[in-house]
Amino acid sequence: MVAFPRLVLPVVAATLITVLGGCSDDADAIRRIRSQRQAKMQSQTQQDHIGETFSLLNRLVDLNPDEAERQIAYHLNRWSEDRDEVKADDISELLRTISDVLPPEAVQQRIDRKNFTRDDTDHLRDSYLFKKISDWVNRESSDDPVLTDWLTEQEKKSSEAALQIRTAARLFDWTVRNIAYEAKIPVVPAPPAPPMSMGMTFQGAGYRQTDYETVWRGTGDALQRAGVFTQLCRQSGLTAFVLAIPSTDDGSLDPWCVGVLIDKEIYLFEPELGVFIPGPGQVGVATLSDARKDASVLRRLNVPGFFDYPYAKDDIQQTVALLNVVPEAISPRMKELQSGLAGDRRMVTYVDAPSLAKQIDSISGISGVRLWNVPLLAEAYRTDMETAASRDPVFQFWYQSRWAILEADIDTSRQLAVARWNHLLGKFDNDESDDSKGARVLYLAMRAPEFEIADLRIDVNLQIAYGIRRERGTESEVYDRQVQQVQAMMRQGKRSATYWISLIQYDDQRYETAETWFAKRVLDENQPSLWIPAARYNLARTQELLGNLDSAVELYKTVGSPQEHGNRIRARLIQKQTD
């Protein structure tokens, strides 16, 4: 046996300890690497699920709705499996403000649901679409020329606040130009009213369309415009809400305008008139504090000899803020989802309603904050309409026919729907990277010649080309009526596509081309459509940008236009700038 010197033993021991310790360190390092790799793989898997969700949302209009909803719920549930549970906020006080529409426990069930379900798709679709719109609209070319000088002055005071005001003005301006004005009481013929729930009236203001249907169809009343505008503001990081005036008799609320909270001031935008409320001296955008202190702010919304504004300074000393949110938007699962979105996938899916209410309620002149009941009423209204349609074929035809060209399950409607979707996403032109067609090309394809539409009744080959088939046993008279319905749809689709192309030309800064399209195609006397008043307004806006201010003012003063009151106010603001 070999004997080691005494001094060597400690060295050997130290060496062994070092080696063993090194092995331990290596093992720890290996474990850390494996853990990091596993976390990375898990992250990539989660990211893939989010990616799949966004891919589905992007193509939603072109997919089978049931399958798309199922897939979206599946991917989001897989993504959220290993994430920590998010604590729910206490919103009991706010829920009581809509208890007359839906019991708090029913709303709470929609909020507390831990898993994503197919019922979440509408909210996710809205968040995605309004985010996309707000992104491409919020650019310099969307500035309202009436506000240019004032906004420049605001930047000298606070660049951050001025930037937010500018964004709000851009989004409101887009809303007014793209959501054709409808009266709160519609003038279109309708069948007798079916049974209605929740005390609603048939074709009632605000709730006869959802926010999505309003932006999708491009037409709506003042409350629906307010809904679209607040949705766009939310996706741009702005706090926007409907301001309502409480009745001194019964406490009922009369929606007035939209307020946008910026730097402790509430800026006022009037969707009924289609104009921002001008500030003192008819300069800039008025704040709530301006309107509460200076009687001339609301008084100047009168148009002497034509229109009286229904509200005055004393009426708006105390107003109630109404938050445009659905139950899903205040749920923990949407809060969790929003925290996991980054980069191009960032969008607002969650609203911290209690904090928002506290922030708004601290502003002088706000007497309370509530959830707006219109989103829930819109859901109930749609259910009532679908129930009535299932029971009465005549009512079904009326309910579905007006927007069948955009929403029916036929090839022509699907093509227009894809065009409209791309338009709202800001995809105007073809994308060579994925060989997809832009809205402009797809809209143009909808513009069949009038002679071709007219010949559809007598040309069998043309009927075959358009996919019209006469079922065996169908009487000639019945088949002829069916062909006439197709002709009406084609004309509606053509004229809608023509109007929407005109809007694209405007938003693409092709103002001379837009002028031609609005004036010679949409406003063609031989091509009557529901878009005539909106096209006339947008033609006036185009004339402003081309420097033809006299022509713009003349168009704004068109007697009988649905938005004549607000148009005359805009004409006055233009004339004031040129004096």
Q: How confident is the model at residue 449 (pLDDT cuts 50, 70, 90)?
A: confident
- Rounded CA gap, 151 and 366, in Å? 26
Average pLDDT for residues 183-197, to the nearest whole number? 92
Check: pTM over 0.85? Answer yes or no.
yes
Give burial (CB, 10 Å; 0-12/13-18/19+) of 155. middle
Residues 399-433 have pLDDT tens digits of 998 899 999 888 889 999 999 999 999 999 998 88
What is the C-alpha separation between 140 and 166, in angstroms, rounded?
9
Contacts of 422 (CB under 8 A, 6+ apart): 428, 437, 438, 439, 442
For residue 30, what are the contacts with CB-CB under 8 A and spacing of at least 6? none
For 47, 505, 520, the CA distances from 439, given in Å and listed in that order, are 29, 11, 21
What is the average pLDDT value for the chain, to the nearest integer?
91
Please report the pLDDT score of residue 25 as a whole number. 61
Over residues 560-578, the mean pLDDT reads 96
Cβ atoms of residues 255 and 223 within 8 Å: yes
Ramachandran assignment for 233, one of left (phi > 0), alpha (psi -120 to 50 degrees), beta (any other): alpha
Phi then psi for residue 244, to 5 deg, are -125, 145
Confidence of residue 448 (pLDDT cuts 50, 70, 90): confident
Residue 148 has pLDDT above 80, yes or no: yes
Number of other CB atoms surrounding residue 283 within 10 Å:
15
Q: For residue 75, which of 56, 114, 51, 49 has the smallest C-alpha distance?
A: 49
% of the chain beyond a pLDDT of 70: 92
Q: CA–CA separation, 366 vs 353, rounded Å?
A: 16
Domain edges within the chain: 1-86, 89-185+200-380, 385-578
pLDDT in tens, 221-276: 999 999 999 999 999 999 999 999 999 888 899 999 999 999 999 999 999 999 99
Q: Which of 92-101, 368-377, 460-469 has the lowest mean pLDDT?
A: 460-469
Burial status of residue 249 (CB atoms within 10 A of its CB: 0-12, 13-18, 19 or more): exposed
Residue found under tokens 């399209």: 517
**Residue 237: DSSP 8-state:** T
How remote is the C-alpha of 57 from its chain's centroid?
Answer: 14
Residue with tokens 């659905």: 326
- Kindly report which listed range (33-47, 65-79, 165-179) carries the lowest average pLDDT score: 33-47
pLDDT band per the 50, 70, 90 thresholds, residue 457: confident
Q: What is the pLDDT of residues 482-515, one digit of tens each?
A: 888 888 888 899 999 999 999 999 999 999 999 9
Residue 174 is predicted with a pLDDT of 99
550: which residues sit within 8 A by CB, 6+ positions away?
A: none
pLDDT confidence of residue 15: 41
CB neighbour burial string for 399-424, b if at least 16 within 10 angstroms, e if fewer: beeebbbbbbeeebbebbbbbbbbbb
Cα distance from N-terminal residue to C-terminal residue, the chain: 114
Query: For residue 340, what are its two tokens?
Result: 């996991």
pLDDT-wise least confident of 99-113, 168-182, 461-475: 461-475
Q: What are the angstrom distances between the C-alpha of 510 and each of 430, 495, 503, 532, 545?
A: 17, 20, 10, 20, 10
pLDDT tens column, 132-146: 999 999 999 999 999
